[in-house]
Amino acid sequence: MKRSYRFVEAVGTVTCSLETGEVLVLPVYCGILKHPTAEELVVLLGDPIVARKYTREALRKAPWRALREFPRSWLLACLAECVAMESLAAGRVRALRFMLGIEDAAGAPPDDPADDGLM
């Protein structure tokens, strides 16, 4: 028997105005925040505090296919918060840094074998 897998898909988008006046367009994925339905999530994501928590949770558990739909600058800002709060596993941080194309302070890519002392 063949099995069909359904990959994660956004059910829509929502705009959120940040405290700075910047307007974000965020994809709406059910399941990143546990309990709200899609309709409730659209309303909740209008609040910048909820949008920030939603994005931090997405960084923690959403696949890259979903994260690509978030604004890159917003992902970078939320990733910096997650690193400061130490809310992400070190491996996840390295993977996100690689996917976002962030280099470490020495200018080497995050997964450079020269960094881990093995070579």
How do residues 45-89 score in pLDDT, each as one tens digit?
Answer: 999 999 999 999 999 999 999 999 999 999 999 999 999 999 999
Residue numbers of the domain that contains 72: 12-116
Whole-model pTM: value is: 0.79
* 1 in any annotated domain: no
**Domain assignment of residue 7, yes or no:** no
Specify if 81 maps to a domain.
Answer: yes
C-beta contacts of 26-33 below 8 A and 24+ residues apart: 26/51, 26/54, 26/55, 26/70, 26/71, 26/74, 27/66, 27/69, 27/70, 29/58, 29/62, 29/66, 32/57, 32/58, 32/61, 32/62, 33/57
Tell me if 5 is assigned to some domain. Answer: no
The answer to whether residue 27 is domain-embedded is yes
pLDDT tens readout for residues 97-113: 999 998 765 445 555 44
In a domain, 2, yes or no: no
**Number of residues written out for the chain:** 119
Q: How many structural domains comprise the chain?
A: 1
